[in-house]
Structures are given as C-alpha cells and as structure tokens.
Amino acid sequence: MMRKLTEKKLVLATHNAGKVAEMQEILAPFGITVVSAGDLNLSEPEENGTTFVENATIKAVAAAKESGLPALGDDSGLCVHALGGRPGIYSARYNEPKKNGFMYAMEKLNEELGDSADRSAHFACAMVIAWPDGETRSFEGRVNGTLCWPVKTGEHGFGYDPMFVPDGYDASFAELPAAVKNAVSHRARALKMFTDACL
C-alpha cells in the first residue's frame, strides 16, 4: 500500500525560487506548508544520476535526512527529439553562467537544430518523495510541445519556458498564466500523481 504523507510540512529539495513558488501554489489547497532546502540552508548534493528519477531521488533523500522532514525532490528537463533527447538531465547545466543564462542555452539549442523541420520536444519531470527513514516513491510527468524561435517571452515561467509551446496552445509556457501552466505542465502532472497517491 502506498505510504501517505501525514505531515503538514514538506521540504522542497531545491534552491530554485521559481519552483518553490509554483509548488507552494499547487500544494496550498492540501494545507501543506512548503519550505525549500535553501530556506533551511541545506547542502546541495551532487546530482550524478543518469536519469531524472535518480537525480530527484538523490536530492529528496539528502534533504529528508538532513532536515528530519519528508522531502520532495524533482528533476526535470527539456528533451529535444531531433537532438536525441538533449539536453535532458543536463538542461540546467546546458547554459554557461558567464554568458547570459538560459537565453544562451536557448540560442544554443536553436543553433543545434539548424533548419531541422522537427522542432518537437517534451518537458519531463521526475518527482520523488523521501521520508527521513529512507523510504521513497517516484512519479513521472511529461508534456509535449514544439520549440519556437524567436522565443516568446512573457511575464511568467523560467528556464526554457519562453521557447516551449505546449501542444494545444499558441502561447509559450512563459506567456501562459500560472494557473494554466500549473494545470498542464510536466511538473504539475508528476505532482498530481504524487498528491493522488500520497495525500
């Protein structure tokens, strides 16, 4: 039987403010208080897994052990089909900080795609809940879409969102209101699996 989350405080194993805000909004109706690993000054473990699930597990287990609270870790990324799934688990490291962050990463992907007619891609998210006793459960969500160029910047989103137009929409993730993105995103889908199973 799937273990239920009975605690009302959950550590989000991330230092990414965008992810924290997204998760707080989604989990608020369940009466769960979300604190981030950054808020608790937890260390950042080395993400040396070869899959999204492995990296999410590394983060969740480390945060749960260090904080003594249940922790939710996620690892997500953009998988470009014509590039063999790149950047995949290396999505966050695909940009060069000395350049201009994710804008550089998006420019790099567009250059690599060249004149390819296939601009399909998907965002993948693995979400892992870990308890301090070491027990874990994993969930995986995915949303398909197309990469646009030039990017469609908006007031929302982060990372590769300005370049990604989800199937069924004309706007990029950066342009869609948070409520819409949170209903269809890869992270939202993985989180729904988590909430359905554990809450």
Q: Tell me which residues are annotated as active site.
A: 75
Q: Are strands 9-12 and 33-36 parallel, antiparallel or unpaired?
A: parallel
Phi, psi (rounded to 5 degrees) for 88: 55, -130
- What DSSP state is assigned to residue 3? P
| C-alpha–C-alpha distance, residues 160 and 44, integer Å | 22
| C-alpha–C-alpha distance, residues 34 and 61, integer Å | 16
Nearest C-alpha neighbor of 14 from the set 67, 50, 51: 67
Q: Which two tokens stand for residue 169?
A: 């929409």
Q: Which two tokens stand for residue 83?
A: 């590039």
Query: Does residue 124 contact residue 186 with C-beta atoms inside 8 Å?
Result: yes
- What DSSP state is assigned to residue 87? B
